[in-house]
Structures are given as structure tokens and as C-alpha cells.
Amino acid sequence: MKSGKTDIQMRMYTILDLNQLTFKLDEGVEQAPEYDAENAPDSVFADFASSVANLKEEIDWSDLEERASFFNKLFTFCQEQKFDLPYRENFTAEEMKKLPN
């Protein structure tokens, strides 16, 4: 008997991957600026994170390890719930093969 979790992909983003992860604060607006997870100002990143997750504690978004950890948890949650990712992965096919999973 197979576990339902076998279909779920895992990602292990590191701080080196953050510049390849992009998001918009207002997905419905075509001209909305797109930010990468490494260089987005802390306040912009905090707005994005709280728009897609129920954050129960203060997080230091200036810490890139915290940002990578957030994206790993968000990716896993979206996979488990079968939700579309609220961000884009801008990796080449070759880079995707190298992502630890």
C-alpha cells in the first residue's frame, strides 16, 4: 500500500537559490513589480509572506536563511494541498536537476 505522500515533490532551497524565486505583491495587476526573494526589501518580503501564510510569530526577514526556510515550508505546503505556487521558480532545466530534494 502506497502512502499518499509519494507524489509530493520536495525542495530544499538555499540562500543561493533565493534570487531565482520571484513574486509579486499584487498578482492580479500585470504591471505590478516583481521581486526576487533575495533582494526584496524586508518590508516587501514581510507583506508577501503574510499574504500567503498565517504567520504566528515575528520573523527577521533580513536573515536570508529565514527566507529560504520560509520558501521550503511554503513549497511543501503547496504540494501537500495541491495549490499552485504563489511565486515563480526561474531556474533553468539544468539548475532544476541540481536542486537538492
Reported as a single tens digit per residue, the pLDDT across 33-42 is 999 999 999 9
DSSP notation for 51-69:
HHS---S---TT-HHHHHH
Report the alpha-carbon distance of residue 66 to residue 14 in Å, rounded.
Answer: 10
Picking from 78-82, 88-92, 95-99, which range would have the lowest pLDDT averaged per residue?
95-99
Query: Which strands, in side-by-side order, build the sheet including 34-36?
Result: 34-36, 21-24, 88-89
pTM (2 d.p.):
0.81
Reported as a single tens digit per residue, the pLDDT across 21-55 is 999 988 666 777 999 999 999 999 999 999 999 99
Domain that residue 45 falls in: 4-98
Report the alpha-carbon distance of residue 78 to residue 73 in Å, rounded.
Answer: 9
Q: What angle is formed at CA 72 by the lines to CA 69 and CA 73, rounded to 5 degrees?
A: 90
pLDDT value of residue 31: 75
Q: How many domains does the structure of the chain reveal?
A: 1
